[in-house]
Amino acid sequence: MRRSGAGGSGSGTARRNRKSSSSSGSARDRGARPRADGGMRVVVPLQGVVQGRGGLVIGSLIPCALFYFFQLYIKRNRAPRPLPPPPPAAAASESPPGSASTVVSPIHRSLSRGLLSPRAALPAPSARGAAVRDDDSLYYAGLRRCAEDPYHPASNPAGIIQLGLAENCLSLDLVVRWMEEHAAGAALMAGGEDEEERELSVRGLATYQPYDGILALKMALAGFMRQIMKEVSFDPSQMVITSGATPAMEILSFCLADPGNAFLVPSPYYPGWDRDIKWRTGIELIPVPCRSTDNFNISITALEIAYNQAKKRGIRVRGVLISNPNNPTGRFVPKQTLHDLLEFVTEKNIHLISDEVFAGSTYGSGKFASVAEVVDDLEDFDRGRVHIIYGLSKDLSLAGFRVGVIYSYNESIVTAAAKIARFSSVSTPTQRLLVAMLSDQKFISDYLKINSERLRKMYRLFVDALDQVGIECFKSSGGFYCWADMSKFIGSYSEKGERKLWDRLLEEAKVNVTPGSSCHCIEPGWFRCCFTTLREQDIPILVERLKKVTDSHKLNR
Amino acid sequence: MRRSGAGGSGSGTARRNRKSSSSSGSARDRGARPRADGGMRVVVPLQGVVQGRGGLVIGSLIPCALFYFFQLYIKRNRAPRPLPPPPPAAAASESPPGSASTVVSPIHRSLSRGLLSPRAALPAPSARGAAVRDDDSLYYAGLRRCAEDPYHPASNPAGIIQLGLAENCLSLDLVVRWMEEHAAGAALMAGGEDEEERELSVRGLATYQPYDGILALKMALAGFMRQIMKEVSFDPSQMVITSGATPAMEILSFCLADPGNAFLVPSPYYPGWDRDIKWRTGIELIPVPCRSTDNFNISITALEIAYNQAKKRGIRVRGVLISNPNNPTGRFVPKQTLHDLLEFVTEKNIHLISDEVFAGSTYGSGKFASVAEVVDDLEDFDRGRVHIIYGLSKDLSLAGFRVGVIYSYNESIVTAAAKIARFSSVSTPTQRLLVAMLSDQKFISDYLKINSERLRKMYRLFVDALDQVGIECFKSSGGFYCWADMSKFIGSYSEKGERKLWDRLLEEAKVNVTPGSSCHCIEPGWFRCCFTTLREQDIPILVERLKKVTDSHKLNR
């Protein structure tokens, strides 16, 4: 677009010059000398300048300057890009903004006239506000559709079964029991013995606390994370607590990259990142495809290529963003790959962000290794480029509590993020409640053990159920998902075909799953299916519903 | 800078052309004809083109195109502006990014070499992250200084007395008592009768809830706001709940204006807005000074001038931002001024944002009127340009709960803001607790009545105390502040003089106040002093401390 603008402006300049020379004899012709040959009679506006002294410089300078001011004019008059035309309301007003002058005449207003005349248009929302308002994807469309008509065995048996939302309902009973027994006292009275101390403690609930979380919660979280990511210790002073992992990711991204910069993101990746990172930070996410033939392993070669391509396009890559256990595939990132990633980001002098919100929700045979563990193994490694996102929504089933963590080895980033946490603080009563819960060692270790067993069991049941209808799943080890290959059920091997199947699953089978395209998977036909929102007794119903679609596909062939 | 760039590139182009014509006879000369006169022997690169056919267009086009690509080159190579030079670490790596090529050779890495060699520098934080990290003002410096060494009559009698933080400790005992009596049950069991219902209710605490707040809290808040802003009713569907008024202001700003756009803000204004709005949204705040001689009234003429000046500078003004009751002056914005403001924003087709977080914390003789009340009076007025910020930190002394409200009459803005609330949600246990508290009609009306009485009493005591040491206060009606005129105690009538006095108050008198300059007040010597963090028995100590500074000033004269 800018290219055509350049051409257009060039001829525009020429046109303007022609006009001025023909109408007024033109001041520019002053430098022209009388010519001996009469052969050339083309009207050439810059001829005089070119032939005169200083022609070299001025002959190039004048078109350039005209072009420059033309660009400036265009820029001024169209900036912020998707602006609507000047509102008609303004034109109707007493002093139209178009006629702005330095000396403002005294303003006479009649209230009735100014306020009560019907206005044609409201001021538009900001361009970015409108973009957020209109932003949608199948992932969110499915969630919304499901929220409107949720399946319930008794009250809404024909409703949509939710396999799209990453919520763990398998162990909620444990949380509920703890809350019933402890919450009341724990939240309010923490630390209170005598009357005055108790009042101080309750006062502390209401008054301003550090935006990035109270120290007691940071300490409790460090202990909990240590328990989950075995053999690793976490330092509360490197922690920033936010109202969920979502703002944790956004705040960290804001601190690591500027608008127009990019992160390389091995894909398929969590569909929420497109909102969490792009909406407000202006950072670009560059998917770096992993392939089923390679077990969706992260390829350093592919990262290298993507890095160089971005550089060629003039985009500065500021980091690599991974999730581990991977969302949506449920795969653990192997320790060797983490090593390779650390080497890659060191070589490029960029950051590594590891989203480990499912670190404690594992059920596979392999062993999960946090990037923190790998970093701890390396003695001379400069950790300041490594950052971890964590939260309690997944591993403690506390999505409604909105508690996320930025854990960074970079002091500078921790300082900035702690300041930005003013926009995403957790309320103090909730922090108190969590301090009590996380400090209850017996509850935590019981919960982790039982939850892991239940996850493993439900995963097996779910995979078997899909197998019954001919759907194969990628072998996953953590998280709440199966990564299911339904490519044999799509009509055309394309995103369109995948979308059609997704639509049939939602509208005919009444099952909401997340299509791979929402996760930027380049191979059509993969779907993310969350199995932790199901109960065992729902599985036969699910199978029956899926069969509707898979069987009809077989018939159509 | 760009201007000089234009000139430079013009001559650069000329230089390049000269070189090509002299060295190789130049392909561009193809169009030149043999000339009869021998008089002109200047080397003119574009002469041939200009004299040949198509000279008009191409003669202007070539310099323009060259200039355009030169600009493009410059832009590519310097974008994102405040970048540090390429990190030395990259240069030391195996494949320096400078030598990026399309075909990536297979990567051979030795782990030890890549990771363990000491690196000279870490990747820098983003430019904006660094800006946030380093951002500071006397307002925040004072708060920090005070937090390090807070006054306490028993444990730290030499500490700093906090008059800088807008926290209301006068009525905390009421909140504490309610919490002790009701919190435990209220938070958890809300709405639970039988066993199953109760479990569902507690489950609802842990699972995902709407990011922009549960409906029950919106309804309770609408009722509370109605009680505070008499005669006005609020619609829960126009409400977005956020984790504090701070993110409410940021999210609303994001939805109303794009980076580089501006809000006009009558000054003095709340010093936090510079962080809340500027840090992440890239919106400019243009202070529009109100004057002491005019009782710090908002002047529409001044707004008009500022609007036109901004327009001249190419800045698009998207709204006017006010606080009512005003922070820091404590003044109510008169109903007539609200009318005038509505007319002004209608005429300019921009938005009006009214921050009314102190609406329920009034003590003056006048009557507070919300912009919602004025809007309700106007029948044909198009409300979609009016937005209110509210929260519970001030009026219910619940700063630690982090609950803010965006109330907008614009559906489009509500939709966008509700989506962005994913970054600033309030935890469900806290929402439940608040539903119970706000629904307790007796508690709420008692609280509002008693709190108002205590505010009035403390305000009188505080103003009298300042009067004892010769400090006069602006007559305020709401909020937690006195707006004190200490101009007679500053050495030089300038920002520097004000800063010096602030420093003496902090370090000699051990009293932290907010200097007017932090509020963008253009008259030096005004200070914002919060009186709601004091207890009555602290006042004599405060007077004694202030005297140190005021008396020594008199001696020095």
Closest to A553 (Cα-Cα) out of A493, A491, A509: A491
The H-or-E segment that residue A289 falls in is: strand A284-289
Find out whether A338 and A349 touch, Cβ atoms under 8 Å. Answer: no
Q: Tell me the mean pLDDT in the region B419-447.
A: 93
- Category of A470 on φ-ψ map: left (φ > 0), alpha (ψ -120 to 50) or beta: left
The pLDDT-based confidence of B56 (bands split at 50, 70, 90) is: low
CB-based contact, B481 to chain A, within 8 Å: no
What is the model's pLDDT at position A108? Answer: 38
Tell me what ipTM this predicted complex has.
Answer: 0.78
Residues A268-321: tens digit of each pLDDT? 999 999 999 999 999 999 999 999 999 999 999 999 999 999 999 999 999 999
Distance from CA of A291 to the nearest CA of B (A): 18
What is the model's pLDDT at position A206? Answer: 77
Check B126 against A244: CB less than 8 A apart: no
Say yes or no to pLDDT of B44 above 60.
Answer: no
Q: Which residues pair with B514 in a beta bridge?
A: B528
Say yes or no to pLDDT of A223 above 70.
Answer: yes
Distance from CA of B499 to the nearest CA of A (A): 24
Please state, in angstroms and rounded to a whole number, the distance separating the CA atoms of residues A205 and A68: 59
What is the model's pLDDT at position B551? Answer: 86
Distance from CA of A542 to the nearest CA of B (A): 22
Closest to A279 (Cα-Cα) out of A316, A251, A244: A251
What is the model's pLDDT at position A183? Answer: 67
Say yes or no to pLDDT of A13 above 70.
Answer: no
Closest to B95 (Cα-Cα) out of B109, B83, B84: B109
The pLDDT-based confidence of B410 (bands split at 50, 70, 90) is: very high
Q: Which residue has the higher pLDDT, A390 or A197?
A: A390
Find out whether B286 and B306 touch, Cβ atoms under 8 Å. Answer: yes
- Integer angstrom CA distances of residue A362 from B58, B59, B227: 68, 70, 50
Question: Which site among B9, B122, B348 would you substitute to test the A interface, given the most A Cβ atoms closer than 10 Å to its Cβ?
Answer: B122
Q: Tell me the mean pLDDT in the region A236-250.
A: 97
| Phi/psi at B180 (5° precision) | -60, -35
Q: Write the DSSP assignment of B457-484 as a string of letters.
A: HHHHHHHHHHHHTT-EE----BSSEEEE
For residues B294-333, one letter each, b for 16 or more C-beta atoms within 10 angstroms of the residue's C-beta and e for the rest, the string is: eebbbbbebbbebbbbbeeeebbbbbbbbbbbbbbbbbbb
Predicted TM-score (pTM) of this structure? 0.79
Q: Which residue has the higher pLDDT, A58 or B230?
A: B230
Give the DSSP letter of residue A160.
B
Select, from the ranges A15-29, B74-88, B201-215, B296-310, the one with the highest average predicted confidence (pLDDT).
Answer: B296-310
Please state, in angstroms and rounded to a whole number, the distance separating the CA atoms of residues A51 and A33: 8
Q: Write the DSSP assignment of B48-114 as a string of letters.
A: HHHHSTTHHHHHHHHHHHHHHHHHHHHHHHH-STTPPPPPHHHHHSSS-GGG--SSPPPP---HHHH
What is the model's pLDDT at position A196? Answer: 62
Say yes or no to pLDDT of A429 above 90.
Answer: no
Find out whether B128 and A258 touch, Cβ atoms under 8 Å. Answer: yes
Say yes or no to pLDDT of B120 above 80.
Answer: no
| Phi/psi at B60 (5° precision) | -90, -30
Considering only A110-124, A206-220, A372-386, B277-291, which range has the smallest mean pLDDT?
A110-124
Please state, in angstroms and rounded to a whole number, the distance separating the CA atoms of residues B266 and A11: 47
Residues B133-182: tens digit of each pLDDT? 888 889 999 998 988 999 988 889 999 999 999 888 898 888 888 887 87
What is the model's pLDDT at position B273? Answer: 96
Q: Which residue has the higher pLDDT, B456 or A17?
A: B456
Closest to B183 (Cα-Cα) out of B401, B405, B450, B426: B401
Q: Which residues pair with B104 in a beta bridge?
A: none
Query: In this prediction, what percent of chain A has a pLDDT beyond 90?
Result: 60
Distance from CA of B190 to the nearest CA of A (A): 13
Residue A135, helix vs strand vs coil: coil
Check B47 against A46: CB less than 8 A apart: no
Q: Tell me the mean pLDDT in the region B196-220.
A: 81
Contacts of A532 in chain B (CB under 8 A): none
Among A45, A127, A346, whose Cβ lies nearest the Cβ of B119?
Answer: A346
The pLDDT-based confidence of A324 (bands split at 50, 70, 90) is: very high
CB-based contact, B203 to chain A, within 8 Å: yes
Considering only A345-349, A429-433, B517-521, which range has the smallest mean pLDDT?
A429-433
Closest to B437 (Cα-Cα) out of B390, B398, B483: B398
Say yes or no to pLDDT of A475 above 50.
Answer: yes
Say yes or no to pLDDT of B45 above 90.
Answer: no
Determine how β-strand A511-512 pairs with β-strand A161-162: parallel
- Residue B158 carries which side chain, given as an amino acid letter? A
- Averaged confidence pLDDT in chain B: 81
> Which two three-digit tokens encode residue B257?
């204006």
Contacts of A318 in chain B (CB under 8 A): 123, 126
The pLDDT-based confidence of A123 (bands split at 50, 70, 90) is: confident
Considering only A171-185, B50-64, B299-313, which range has the smallest mean pLDDT?
B50-64
Distance from CA of B350 to the nearest CA of A (A): 5
For tokens 């207003």, the residue is: A109
Say yes or no to pLDDT of B322 above 70.
Answer: yes
Contacts of B319 in chain A (CB under 8 A): 123
Closest to B532 (Cα-Cα) out of B451, B437, B469: B451
Find out whether A242 and A405 touch, Cβ atoms under 8 Å. Answer: yes
How long is chain B? Answer: 557
The pLDDT-based confidence of A3 (bands split at 50, 70, 90) is: very low
What is the model's pLDDT at position A112? Answer: 45
Closest to B125 (Cα-Cα) out of A90, A319, A243: A319
What is the model's pLDDT at position B185? Answer: 62
In terms of Cβ atoms closer than 10 Å to its own Cβ (0-12, 13-18, 19+), residue A322 is buried
Say yes or no to pLDDT of B196 above 90.
Answer: no
Find out whether A21 and A28 touch, Cβ atoms under 8 Å. Answer: yes
The H-or-E segment that residue B241 falls in is: strand B239-242
The pLDDT-based confidence of A158 (bands split at 50, 70, 90) is: very high
Among A6, A61, A399, whose Cβ lies nearest the Cβ of B207?
Answer: A399
- Averaged confidence pLDDT in chain A: 81
Closest to A165 (Cα-Cα) out of A400, A345, A322: A400
Please state, in angstroms and rounded to a whole number, the distance separating the CA atoms of residues A533 and A518: 20
Say yes or no to pLDDT of A497 above 80.
Answer: yes
Say yes or no to pLDDT of A18 above 70.
Answer: no
Radius of gyration of chain A measured on its C-alpha atoms: 31
What is the model's pLDDT at position A71? Answer: 65
In terms of Cβ atoms closer than 10 Å to its own Cβ (0-12, 13-18, 19+), residue A11 is middle
- Residue B350 carries which side chain, given as an amino acid letter? I
Please state, in angstroms and rounded to a whole number, the distance separating the CA atoms of residues B512 and B494: 20
Say yes or no to pLDDT of B22 above 60.
Answer: no
What is the model's pLDDT at position B450? Answer: 95
CB-based contact, B315 to chain A, within 8 Å: no
B148 contacts: CB under 8 Å, gap ≥ 6: none
What is the model's pLDDT at position B208? Answer: 83
Please state, in angstroms and rounded to a whole number, the distance separating the CA atoms of residues A363 and B352: 54
Say yes or no to pLDDT of B112 above 60.
Answer: no
Find out whether B250 and B281 touch, Cβ atoms under 8 Å. Answer: yes
> Which two three-digit tokens encode residue B291?
């004057």
Please state, in angstroms and rounded to a whole number, the distance separating the CA atoms of residues A192 and A372: 36
Please state, in angstroms and rounded to a whole number, the distance separating the CA atoms of residues A95 and A105: 10
Q: Tell me the mean pLDDT in the region A529-544.
A: 93
